[in-house]
Structure 1
Amino acid sequence: PDGHTRYAGAPLAYTFGEIDGVKSFTVVDLDGEGEARISECEIAPLRPLRELRGTFADLIAKEADATAYYRVVLTDEEDVPDALAELRLRFPYIMQLIYDNTRTRAAAALSFDEDLPLRDPFTLFSEFYELQNGKPLSDEAKEVLTETIGEVFGHENS
């Protein structure tokens, strides 16, 4: 704040939270008279950190810097088989691949429910299924689930 104190920090970005950060180092030249000349030298990394966001189809067709380190955020609602391997053919330095879709946002919104052990197996599985698939069990699936729970736990718990 006052210009006299500096935090060295890491010389290169090492997390994707630093994508937009500019790294630099400070040079202090002291003359024999006690005067100091301070200058900033920006550090240009060999491979910058970048983020690619979009559907698999959009990203595989995208023109982008193939030399950067990437975090890839796929917005497809369904997981794409071998997405990382396919994308690495275009962007060989992918460091992270994550999904941002209805399922992942719902899962992130969950917090541990303390009454979880008190719920019956049918309710637990039904809620889990809806969370994972974005829709409730069909009537046919409910029947199969009821039969399966009855076989596994005994009919008193179904």
Structure 2
Amino acid sequence: MRVLHTADWHLGRPFHGESLLDAQAAVVDHVVEVARTSCVDAVLLAGDLFDRALPPVDAVRLADEALRRLVEVCPVVLISGNHDSGPRLGFGSGLLEGAGLHVRTDPARVREPIAVGDGLVYALPYLEPDVARDVVGAEGRGHGPVLRAAMDHVRADLAARAFDGPSIALAHAFVAGALESASERDLAVGGAASVPLSTFEGASYVALGHLHAPQRVGSTGRYAGSPVAFSFSEAGQTKSLAVVDVRAGAAPEVELLACPVLRPLATIRGTLDELLTDAALDVHEGAWVQATLTDPARPADAMERLRRRFPHAVVLAFDPQGALDAPGGSYAARLRGLDDAELVARFVQDVRGVEASEAELALLGDALTAGRVAEVAA
């Protein structure tokens, strides 16, 4: 079977406060055209169609248009990601299947494949452990046991069918060893959510979503990546769609087709005068710009002056050269790289002057987990 694998559209997500809907609409046009010209049997969208559980109206309209256009070309299989609201995204899924749109958000349906071409697609939506554990019959807590239990159902169904054709596991998960970007949300408090690729053993191809960098994972897995960039950490990435030919007993054959880039990313550095006068920076005047100023003293009205040349400058940082460094660096620098649990612990320490106790840290961890579960179930 031949499929178009994409993921992580995050419709409605801004880029440092600026709208990305035009760029995302261009991606929709590209996906429809590739689906048509590549003669795929189905489009697989591996989660995070939206950026939040209650997306803005314009994002919902774009999603409606995209899915309507795609099912006119071929069937579509869509799973919910950790940013989506499963219950909301899954509304009307039974009715939509008749139109060729298979929206899978219910953990109880992981064992029900969707026939695509000569193969089967098993759709595993994002499985929040505390929500899905009992549904899939996991014996332990955490992402590893839950995903293993879900794939056990898949393997059991394949065995019961004595199916020897190609099979695909479509999943939204963090596979150990894969490359992260700055724009993803941790799947668990402390980031302890990775699973080995062997979790998906038995599938001819593992079509993954969640991580935004397009990348191969082992010999059978691939992250489609996000079709547009959501952080400057993705500046060097070529965003793409994957057209994949899947055959039983053979390595998947993948063709990567670059996505359109309406506005590139640029990271520039220097004194404000250098950034405003350097002719070599002309090429970045239409880009999203992250600028780091190295002036010994912070220039007045720096962003306003910078935007006269770079209208789409969205991030301004300071790294003064020749000035005395503050002890320990800036507060933002000291917090950079901390996960949610570490940030909360640091907040408690900074506010009251003493570290949180082990019991308090456990309570804070439970609160973060409860908030995450509530968002998924909303």
Query: Does 1:67 find its partner at 2:306?
Result: no
Whole-Å separation in 1 of the counterparts to 2:228 and 2:317: 23
Offset at 1:30? Answer: 6.8
Question: What are the within-5 Å matches in structure 2 for residues 104-143 of structure 1?
Answer: 106-108=329-331
Which of the two has higher C-alpha Rg? 1
Letter in 2 for 1:42: A
* More relative contact order, 1 or 2 (CA 8 Å, 6+ apart): 2
Question: What are the within-5 Å matches in structure 2 for residues 14-53 of structure 1?
Answer: 14-29=230-245, 37-53=253-269
Aligned partner of 1:95 in structure 2 is: 314
Offset at 1:72? Answer: 0.5
SS at match of 1:92: coil
Letter in 2 for 1:27: V
Whole-Å separation in 2 of the counterparts to 1:24 and 1:3: 19
Identity of aligned residues (%): 31
Whole-Å separation in 1 of the counterparts to 2:319 and 2:264: 23
Change (3 A) 1:40 1:3: farther
Offset at 1:43? Answer: 2.0
Offset at 1:23? Answer: 1.3
Aligned partner of 2:298 in structure 1 is: 79
Offset at 1:100? Answer: 0.8
Q: Is the 8 A contact 2:219 2:251 kept in 1?
A: no
Could you list the runs of 5+ residues in structure 1 that have no partner in the other structure? 118-158
Offset at 1:2? Answer: 3.2
State TM-score, norm by structure 1: 0.60
Letter in 2 for 1:75: T
SS at match of 2:308: helix
Letter in 2 for 1:39: E
Could you list the runs of 5+ residues in structure 2 that have no partner in the other structure? 1-216, 336-345, 354-378
Extract structure 1 runs of 4+ deviating beyond 3 A. Answer: 34-37, 102-105, 108-114
Whole-Å separation in 2 of the counterparts to 1:110 and 1:28: 43
Change (3 A) 1:110 1:39: closer
Aligned partner of 1:4 in structure 2 is: 220
Offset at 1:9? Answer: 2.5
Aligned partner of 1:124 in structure 2 is: none
Q: Is the 8 A contact 2:225 2:240 kept in 1?
A: no
Letter in 2 for 1:17: S
SS at match of 2:244: strand
State TM-score, norm by structure 2: 0.27
Q: Which moved more, 1:59-68 or 1:69-78?
A: 59-68
Change (3 A) 1:5 1:95: same
How many equivalent residue pairs? 114
SS at match of 2:226: coil
SS at match of 1:106: coil
Q: Which moved more, 1:13-22 or 1:102-111?
A: 102-111
SS at match of 1:14: coil
Change (3 A) 1:51 1:110: closer
The Cα offsets for residues 61-102 of structure 1, whole Å up to 9 and x where unpaired, read as: 023221110000000111111111111111000010110124
